[in-house]
Structure 1
Amino acid sequence: MTQPTIDVAERDTLFNAIGTTVARLQSQFLGDQGDLLKTQARGELAELRRRAGQPIDRDPLSLEKTLLVLSPTLNENSLGRGDAPSPSEEAAFHALTLFALHMQSATRPMHVPKQSFAAACGRLYALSDSASLKPRFDALLLARSSRARLSHMRSMITLLRGSQLGFDYARFASDLRALDSADKRSGVLLRWGRDFAMGRFHTADDTSTSDNN
């Protein structure tokens, strides 16, 4: 049996680690597992939320906190070995902190498996009267740096939070990792543009999206 490449192994462990972690935090935050765990989850999310949209290297505790919250953790191939975070560590950090922002004051799940980030934004566009929403999303697609993209993502997720629209954070983390790869970035952005356009036509509880290739 052919062994997967390191790139595939990193992507798969990131998807699983983020999906399982945010599902757990979400269930605890919404009170599904009792008041004690709800209080604990609120504290963890509040701490993560303070770092949402910031570079991972701005705070020396950022990577440590990310790895402590993740369960299951990233595998050995996905972890960094030097003075800089690995692509999977950085994607996990941004996915977790933006999820924490999204869950602020939430009364329903904001991690919605199989619903893509861009499709949720398209659904928001269909429901919104704001003329600025599509230009905001377009600016995200056209951003020339990862920092600019993160700023636009933070803005869009704040708007999604206001309308209680969620998306799949495991897929989102995989996309964040791919966006920092020059040979994969254009494909992710093309798919996001498609998902945004098609998201307009989906009902609020429709979780269908284009394939995550």
Structure 2
Amino acid sequence: MTSDLDPTHNKELSARTAELSDAVGTSVVTLQAQFLGSRGERQQAQARGRLAVLRRSAGFTPEQHPLALQDVLDALDPALRQEDLGRGDAASPTERAAFDAMTLFALHMQSATEPMHVRGRSFGSAMSLLRSRSESGSLKPRFDALLAARDQRSRLTHARSLITLLRGEKIGFDYGMFARDLRTLASPHRAGVLLRWGRDFATPPRRSPEGTSSDSAAASALPATPSA
């Protein structure tokens, strides 16, 4: 039997998390474009309904909301490999990562008027940008609590709370990367993800010559919707 400590298995896991990142990233770009109205009123209404269902599942488990998991799996493009699907009555780690990323994305998009999926910006970098805009002294302790959480459900509870703050400041991040990180956190090598999040949080956003955050400038430069 292989383990996540085996180099061959680790390489395979890396390839599969990259596939998960692509699938979630493609799916949220489509949902985002539909929600923001660039695909027509009919698709906008459908996206609003789908995101409302997913949003109500944010913070829960796939087992608690099996219909939402079904909706997530149906939305993924491309679909998950057979070997990444769960067996029996429990969701697989990959299914959980996709479910958590997409339900939190739905929470992030609530009442949004601009993209909250921003390609290339990590969760930690988004939190760093929020920190640069906030005068609250509680933000770092809240982020530290996420990094120190002993289990995935506690970590996601903290992430859900922080994402509501990001939503309030209209700061987005890359949900494909986030799904990949959540899947990696389910393996013994999770420390690397937490290290990256902590490093990104501690790195101040770069400033352009005009004094505008380069992270914000990069986000605005990204296309809000992909070509169909």
Moved over 4 A (4+): 199-202
Report the counterpart of residue 154 of structure 2 in structure 1. 148
Report the counterpart of residue 99 of structure 1 in structure 2. 105
Report the counterpart of residue 211 of structure 1 in structure 2. none
Aligned-partner Cα distance in 1 for 2:85–2:16 = 9
Aligned-partner Cα distance in 2 for 1:196–1:165 = 14
| Deviations, residues 14-39 of structure 1 (Å, cap 9, x unaligned) | 11110100000000001111111111
- Identify which of 8, 25, 29 aligns with 2:14: 8
Aligned-residue offset at 1:206 = 4.1
RMSD of aligned C-alpha atoms?
Answer: 1.9
Is 1:191–2:192 an aligned residue pair? Answer: no
Aligned length: 205
TM-score, with normalisation over the residues of structure 2? 0.85
Is 1:66–2:75 an aligned residue pair? Answer: no
| Deviations, residues 49-101 of structure 1 (Å, cap 9, x unaligned) | 00001122112323222212222211223222333211111100000000000
Report the counterpart of residue 41 of structure 2 in structure 1. 35
Aligned-partner Cα distance in 2 for 1:62–1:25 = 15
**Between the two proteins, what is the percent identity of the paired residues?**
55
Report the counterpart of residue 168 of structure 1 in structure 2. 174
Helix, strand or coil: the match of 1:58? coil
Aligned-partner Cα distance in 2 for 1:152–1:97 = 14
Deviates more, 1:194-203 or 1:129-138: 194-203
Q: Aligned letter for 2:73?
A: L
CA contact (8 A) 1:120 1:199 kept: no
Aligned-partner Cα distance in 1 for 2:18–2:205 = 29
Aligned-partner Cα distance in 2 for 1:154–1:72 = 26
Alignment of 1:65-84 (within 5 A): 65-84=71-90
Aligned-partner Cα distance in 2 for 1:35–1:44 = 14
Q: Aligned letter for 1:69?
A: A
Deviates more, 1:190-199 or 1:168-177: 190-199
Report the counterpart of residue 56 of structure 2 in structure 1. 50
Q: Aligned letter for 1:152?
A: H
CA distance 1:166–1:49, shift in 2 (3 Å): same
Structure 1 unmatched ranges of 5 or more: 208-213
TM-score, with normalisation over the residues of structure 1? 0.90
Helix, strand or coil: the match of 2:201? helix
Aligned-partner Cα distance in 2 for 1:93–1:156 = 18
Report the counterpart of residue 177 of structure 1 in structure 2. 183
